Chain A
Amino acid sequence: EAQVTQNPRYLITVTGKKLTVTCSQNMNHEYMSWYRQDPGLGLRQIYYSMNVEVTDKGDVPEGYKVSRKEKRNFPLILESPSPNQTSLYFCASSLILAGGTDTQYFGPGTRLTVL
């Protein structure tokens, strides 16, 4: 079954404790992306990746890191989480079309709370 998986689904942590949210897709997609969703703000793109070892900042990259060492995986790293990073996080993947991205396939989301 074609899917994007994220782990963990729920996480409560404390300020400053490094964490990683994993994302994996089994569709051989070149494009992968992380979003955060906050009430009243919609989805905002954090980072995206066009392919292995190619990453770029989205609209809200501060406080986050990513890596793309393998095509299927795109982990999101919070080196020193702060309470303003409490949010619902989504990973997504897609093919790349000529001149743009294709349909995004979304993971189920990770609800992160930073105390």
Chain B
Amino acid sequence: SQQGEEDPQALSIQEGENATMNCSYKTSINNLQWYRQNSGRGLVHLILIRSNEREKHSGRLRVTLDTSKKSSSLLITASRAADTASYFCATGHSGAGSYQLTFGKGTKLSVIP
């Protein structure tokens, strides 16, 4: 399994600061997706970045992808207490007609008001 691995496992910051989370993976991918999960609830999609893209923005979120290093980062700017959640990267890969999606273990972000 080419499971993505997030780093750090946990991150605690003050409201207003930026939060950066990293994701590394092992083999070639078609795309990489970031998700957010509030305590035990369903995951919510944040950004999908394709293998031929290097950077994407969505509001206060910025995602970069470096396929040469097999890594991605998620930056949340001007964090808010409501950003407190777990963040997961998921790598999409295909082979022999199959489309498996592999999630990492997540980064738990705590934003302190």
Contact = CB atoms under 8 A, between A and B. Distances in A.
A43 B93 CA distance: 16
Q: Interface residues of B: mostly helix, strand, loop or mixed?
A: strand
A96 to B, nearest CB: 7
A74 interface: no
Nearest to B48: A103
Interface string B71-93: 00000000000000000101011
Nearest to A107: B42
Interface string A42-72: 1111001010000010110000000000000
B25 interface: no
Interface in A12-57: 31, 33, 35, 40-45, 48, 50, 56
Interface size band for B? 20 to 34
A90 B43 contact: yes
A42 B1 CA distance: 13
B42 A41 contact: no
A33 B31 CA distance: 17
Contacts of A31: 99
B98 to A, nearest CB: 5
B24 interface: no
Contacts of A105: 45
B60 interface: no
A101 interface: yes
A58 B100 contact: yes
Given A48-B101, A59-B1, A100 B92 contact: yes
Interface string B86-113: 0010101110011111111110000000
Given A42-B103, A43-B90, A92-B43, 5 more contacts: A35-B103, A45-B103, A50-B99, A100-B30, A106-B44
Interface of B: 1, 3, 29-31, 33, 35, 40-45, 48, 88, 90, 92-94, 97-106
Interface of A: 31, 33, 35, 40-45, 48, 50, 56, 58-59, 88, 90, 92, 96-97, 99-109, 111
